[in-house]
């Protein structure tokens, strides 16, 4: 049901979290988007209301700095793992293979676990993928040391992982299509100078606009900016750290590099090339002109721009759209876009859902 609900990413994340919490239970959670190339956090998809302070502390103090590498989100994503339980006793870290745990002595594991101020009830770590590509990560934790996660909890999340990953990827693509063109275009690169405490010391006008565009739920800097700053700090400022963020404008690149001022990072935010539009299904029975109109529509063009691109009049565009509406049984361009992404991208999700039944 989650995969086929037609929700956009933030709302879908809440639905996913509610479903998982009903099944296994936790005291708090956070779900991040992941950059498919660097595997760094590129945004906050959702979190429990009581998580804000702990999340910021984790990002600044623990993220990418854990002495137990098998608890690092990028390492989990690279390893192909779907779900594990990271807990104070190494022999109760469910979901790992012995070879993954072997490099760290169990006594050192226990010490590192508490030095890192990990939740005493344990943490479920999950990586959600669209086929083989990581798209999101989740941390769900318990604070009661007498109610740690069980192997069956890990197994349940692992079983749901493919469906969740495909659903999130499709929801992101759908959101981009629905919102394309609805926000004023920002083409200039934005530049920020940000201190270690997250204080913006300088921002170009384009930088301020980009911050608004890629902002997460809650106050403060976007997770993508904080994550790249943390990655830059961990590498000793030797090379830039970057992530891409899906937005209404398509993919946006956020890059952090040394500014030349101690404790200050230079952040550059700029648009990447837009993602490809799904192919119009042949089963729709559209004419070549109607297919072209739908393709342009999915890139966010209005009637005037579609007319210019196809060298036809706006009235002809309207005529083609009415024909498309009739053939699909819809009443608006938003419904056409939604149908395009549903029929072009959801068959794989439906296979996953049937496979879980």
CATH number at residue 340: 1.10.10.10
CB 52 within 8 A of CB 66: no
What pLDDT is stored for residue 354 in this prediction? Answer: 40
In a domain, 144, yes or no: yes
User: Which whole-number Å values give the CA distances from 61 to 18, 234, 305, in the listed order?
Assistant: 28, 10, 48
Asked if residue 44 belongs to a domain, the reply is yes
As a whole number of angstroms, the distance between CA 84 and CA 295 comes to 41
pLDDT digits (tens, 9 = 90+) for 271-309: 876 556 778 988 899 999 999 999 988 877 888 889 999
Residue 277 lies in a domain: no
| φ, ψ dihedrals at 262, nearest 5° | -55, 130
Whether 51 and 129 share a structural domain: yes
At 5-58, the pLDDT tens digits run 567 888 899 999 999 999 999 999 999 999 988 899 998 999 999 898 889 889
Q: Does 4 fall in a domain?
A: no
3 part of a folded domain: no
Residues 52 and 163 in one domain: yes
Q: Is residue 71 part of a domain?
A: yes
136: nearest Cα among 107, 170, 88, 184 = 170
Last-in-domain residue among 240, 271, 302: 271
* CA-based torsion, 192, 195, 198, 199: positive or negative: negative
230 against 180, higher pLDDT: 230
| pLDDT, mean of residues 165-175 | 84
Domain count, the chain: 3
Instruction: Output the average pLDDT for the chain.
Output: 85
Residue 232 sits in a domain of what CATH number? 3.30.450
Same domain, 256 and 308: no
Same domain, 233 and 121: no
Q: Residues 213, 247: contact at Cβ < 8 Å? A: yes
Sign of CA dihedral 276, 280, 281, 282: negative
Q: Considering the domain boundaries, does residue 1 fall inside one?
A: no
Q: How far does Cα 247 stand from its chain's mean position?
A: 10
Domain interval for residue 49: 9-178
Same domain for 346 and 304? yes
Domain boundary among 178, 212, 237: 178
Question: Does 311 share its domain with 337?
Answer: yes
User: Which residues, including other chains, have CB under 8 Å from residue 212's CB and lie 6 or more apart?
Assistant: none
Q: Are residues 111 and 240 in the same domain?
A: no
Same domain flag for 26 and 166: yes
pLDDT bucket at 186, cuts 50 / 70 / 90: low
What separation in angstroms does the CA of 112 have from each of 116, 143, 223?
Answer: 6, 17, 25
Least confident of 189-203, 212-226, 279-293: 212-226
**By the 8 A CB rule, do 164 and 128 touch?**
yes
Identify whether residues 266 and 295 lie together within a single domain: no
340 and 318, same domain (yes or no): yes
Whether 266 and 311 share a structural domain? no
For residue 44, give the CATH number of its domain. 3.30.450.40
Question: 115 with 210, same domain?
Answer: no
Within a domain: 276 = no
pLDDT at 73 over 90: yes
Among 249, 271, 293, the domain boundary falls at 271
DSSP per-residue letters across 90-135: GGG-TT--HHHHTTS-HHHHHHHHHHTT--TT-EEEEEEEETTEEE
Q: Can you give the pLDDT at residue 351?
A: 45
């Amino acid at each position: 049901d989650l995969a086929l609900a037609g929700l956009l990413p933030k709302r879908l994340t809440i639905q996913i979290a509610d479903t998982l919490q009903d099944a296994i239970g936790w005291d708090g959670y956070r779900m991040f988007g992941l950059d498919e190339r660097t595997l760094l956090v590129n945004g906050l998809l959702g979190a429990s209301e009581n998580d804000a302070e702990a999340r910021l502390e984790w990002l600044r103090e623990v993220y990418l700095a854990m002495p137990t590498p098998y608890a690092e989100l990028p390492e989990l994503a690279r390893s192909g793992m779907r779900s594990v339980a990271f807990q104070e006793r190494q022999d109760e870290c469910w979901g790992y293979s012995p070879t993954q745990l072997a490099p760290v002595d169990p006594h050192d594991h226990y010490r590192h676990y508490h030095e890192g101020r990990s939740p005493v009830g344990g943490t479920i770590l999950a990586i959600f993928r669209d086929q083989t590509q990581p798209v999101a990560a989740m941390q769900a934790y318990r604070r009661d040391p007498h109610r740690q996660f069980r192997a069956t909890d890990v197994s349940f999340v692992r079983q749901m992982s493919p469906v969740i990953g495909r659903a999130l990827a499709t929801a992101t693509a759908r959101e981009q299509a629905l919102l394309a063109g609805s926000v004023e275009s920002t083409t200039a690169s934005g530049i920020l100078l940000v201190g270690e405490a997250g204080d913006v010391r300088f921002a170009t006008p384009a930088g301020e606009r980009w911050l608004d565009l890629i902002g997460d739920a809650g106050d403060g800097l976007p997770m993508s900016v904080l994550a790249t700053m943390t990655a830059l700090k961990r590498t000793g400022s030797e090379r830039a750290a970057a992530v891409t963020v899906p937005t209404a404008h398509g993919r946006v690149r956020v890059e952090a590099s040394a500014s030349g001022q101690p404790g200050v990072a230079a952040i550059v935010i700029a648009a990447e090339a837009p993602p490809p539009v799904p192919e119009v299904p042949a089963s729709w029975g559209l004419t070549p002109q109607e297919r072209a109109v739908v393709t342009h529509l999915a890139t966010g063009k209005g009637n005037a721009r579609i007319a210019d691109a196809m060298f036809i009049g706006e009235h002809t565009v309207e005529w083609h759209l009415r024909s498309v509406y009739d053939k699909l049984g819809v009443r608006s361009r938003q419904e056409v876009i939604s149908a395009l992404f549903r029929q072009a991208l959801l068959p794989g999700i439906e296979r996953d859902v049937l496979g879980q039944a």
